[in-house]
Structure 1
Amino acid sequence: MELSTGAGDPDLDQRLSDELDAFNASATGDLDVAPQQELTVRADDADGLAGGVSGWTWGTAAGIAMTWVRADHRGTGLGARLMTQFEEEARRRGCTHAFVTSFTFQAPAFYERLGYREILRWDAVPDVGHDDVHLRKDL
C-alpha cells in the first residue's frame, strides 16, 4: 500500500463522494423523501455570474455548502433572493430544516437575518480572533 499527500485531487474528491454516497444510501435505506441530491441556485447578469448558492438535500435536511454574491450586488437583496429560492426548492424536495456554516468574518449575521439560528461555534477557527459559526433554520 502506498500513501501519497498532495494538493487538490478532483478525481479523489469525486471517488470519495461516490463511495460515501453509496455507503450512506445503504446505511439509511429508503428515506421518506428524495435521496441525496445537489441543489444550486445561480444569478447571472450582463457581466456574468452575480451570485449563487450551492448545497444539497438529503432526507429532511438541506445543507448549504457555499454562498457568494459579487461585490457590486452585495446589499441589494440578491443574496436573500438566492437563499429564498434555495429554501423553496429544499421544501419542495421534502426538507424540514437547513444548515449552513459561516466564519465570523463572512456572513453569519446575513443568515441570522434570514431566520437561521446559531447552534454551534468553534472558537479560534481558522485562527485566533475568528470563529466558525454553524447555523440552522426550520423550513
Structure 2
Amino acid sequence: MHIRLDNTESQKAQEIGDLIRSYNRSKREAAESEPLNLYVEDDSGQVMAGLVAETFGNWLEIEYLFVKEDLRGQGIGSQLLQQAESEAKKKNCRFAFVNTYQFQAPSFYQKHGYKEVFTLKDYPYTGQRHYYQKEL
C-alpha cells in the first residue's frame, strides 16, 4: 500500500466520490437527491440567469444562483429563488440551505428570510463565506 499525490482532476477522484456516496447510502436513512434547476434564456437560448439546486429529504440545497450583471436589480433572482422554494415545498422539503461569498449575495438571502448559520472568515485568504438556512 502507498499514498500517491495527484494534483489533477482524475478518474480516481470520481471513484472516491462514488465510494463515499455508496457508503453513505448504506448507513443513512433513505433519501434520494433530485435536481431542481431553473433557467432564464433569451430568444436564442442563451442563458441569462439560473438556479442550480437539488432536493434531498427535507432540504433544498442551492448550489448556484446567477443573474447576468446587466439584468440584476429587476427581481429575476428573487423569482428564481421563490420558484425553487415553491417546487421544493411540493416535494415536501421543509428547509433550504445556501452558501455565498461576502461579495456575492448575503443581503439578498437575508432579504428572503435566510438566517446565517455560520461564516468562514479569512476565506480563502481575506474574504468571508456565509452559510444560510431557511425554514420553508
Q: 1:22 — aligned with what?
A: 22
Say which of 24, 40, 44 aligns to 2:41. 44
Measured in 1, the distance between the counterparts of 2:16 and 2:54 equals: 16
Q: Deviations over 1:79-133 (max 9, x none)?
A: 01111111111111111001100010111111111111111011111222x2111
Measured in 2, the distance between the counterparts of 1:39 and 1:13 equals: 25
Measured in 2, the distance between the counterparts of 1:87 and 1:122 equals: 25
Give the alignment's TM-score, normalised by structure 1. Answer: 0.84
Task: Find runs of 4+ consecutive structure 1 residues off by over 6 angstroms.
Answer: none
**How much identity, in percent, do the aligned residues show?**
28
CA deviation after TM superposition for structure 1 residue 18, in Å: 3.4
Q: 1:107 to 1:24 in 2, by over 3 A?
A: same
Q: 2:74 — aligned with what?
A: 76
Of the structure 1 ranges 12-21 and 61-70, higher mean CA displacement relative to structure 2 is found in 12-21
Structure 2: tracts of 5 or more residues without a match: none
Q: 1:138 — aligned with what?
A: 135
Measured in 2, the distance between the counterparts of 1:16 and 1:90 equals: 29
Measured in 2, the distance between the counterparts of 1:62 and 1:13 equals: 26
Give the alignment's TM-score, normalised by structure 2. Answer: 0.86
CA deviation after TM superposition for structure 1 residue 44, in Å: 0.7
Q: 1:16 to 1:84 in 2, by over 3 A?
A: farther
CA deviation after TM superposition for structure 1 residue 76, in Å: 0.7
RMSD across aligned positions (CA): 1.9
Structure 1: tracts of 5 or more residues without a match: none
Q: 1:5 — aligned with what?
A: 6
What SS does the aligned partner of 2:122 have? coil
Q: 2:117 — aligned with what?
A: 119
